Structure 1
Amino acid sequence: MPTPLPSSARTSRTLLRWRAAAFIAAVLGAGALFVLRADTPLTEADYEHDPQKMIEAYRHVEAASVSDAEEQLLHEKHYMSHQMQPIFPTKFAGVALTVLLKKEENSDPHALDGMLNAIDKGEEGSVYVMKVEDGADIAGMGGLMGTAMFSRGFVGAVVDGGVRDLPQLKRIGFPVYATGAVPSTSVGHYRFGGMNVPVTVGGTAVNADDIIVADQDGVVVVPRSHAAAVLIRAQQLDNSEHSMYPFIEKFHSIVEAVQQFHRI
Structure 2
Amino acid sequence: MTFSADERRDLRQRYLQVDTANVADVLDQLGHTEYGLSSEFWPIRERLEKMGGWAYTIRGQMTPYPGTGDPKKMEAVSGIGPDELSVWSGGGATGICFFGELIARGMQHRGSVGALVDGGIRDIEWLARMNYPVFARYRTPVQSIGRWQVNAWQIPVYLPGATTERVLVRPGDFVLADFDGAMVIPAELVLEVLEQAEALTAQEQRIREDLDQGATLPEVLAKYGHV
Once the two structures are superposed, the pairs formed by residues 1-264 of structure 1 within 5 Å of their partners are 50-88=7-45, 89-109=48-68, 112-203=70-161, 204-264=167-227
Kept in 1, the 8 Å contact 2:113–2:132? The answer is: yes
- Change in Cα spacing, 1:46 to 1:202, as seen in structure 2 (3 Å) is closer
Q: Which residue of 1 aligns with 2:164?
A: none
User: Which 10-residue stretch deviates more, 94-103 or 69-78?
Assistant: 69-78
Gaps of 5+ in 1: 1-43
User: Following TM superposition, by how much is the alpha carbon of 1:177 offset from its aligned partner in structure 2, in angstroms?
Assistant: 0.3
Q: State how far apart, in whole Å, the 2-side matches of 1:142 and 1:183 are.
A: 9
Gaps of 5+ in 2: 162-166
Bigger share in helix: 1
- Change in Cα spacing, 1:98 to 1:250, as seen in structure 2 (3 Å) is same
User: Following TM superposition, by how much is the alpha carbon of 1:53 offset from its aligned partner in structure 2, in angstroms?
Assistant: 2.3
Q: Give the total of aligned pairs.
A: 220
Report the TM-score when normalising by structure 2: 0.89
Question: For 1:137-158, what per-residue CA distance to the aligned partner results, in whole angstroms no more than 9, with x for missing partners?
Answer: 2111011111112222211100
Larger Rg: 1
Q: State how far apart, in whole Å, the 2-side matches of 1:201 and 1:231 are.
A: 22
Q: State how far apart, in whole Å, the 2-side matches of 1:51 and 1:86 are.
A: 24
Kept in 2, the 8 Å contact 1:136–1:179? The answer is: no
Q: Which residue of 2 aligns with 1:17?
A: none
User: Following TM superposition, by how much is the alpha carbon of 1:107 offset from its aligned partner in structure 2, in angstroms?
Assistant: 1.1
- Change in Cα spacing, 1:46 to 1:177, as seen in structure 2 (3 Å) is closer
Question: For 1:17-51, what per-residue CA distance to the aligned partner results, in whole angstroms no more than 9, with x for missing partners?
Answer: xxxxxxxxxxxxxxxxxxxxxxxxxxx9999x933
Report the TM-score when normalising by structure 1: 0.77
Kept in 2, the 8 Å contact 1:103–1:134? The answer is: no
Write the letter of the residue equivalent to 2:154: N
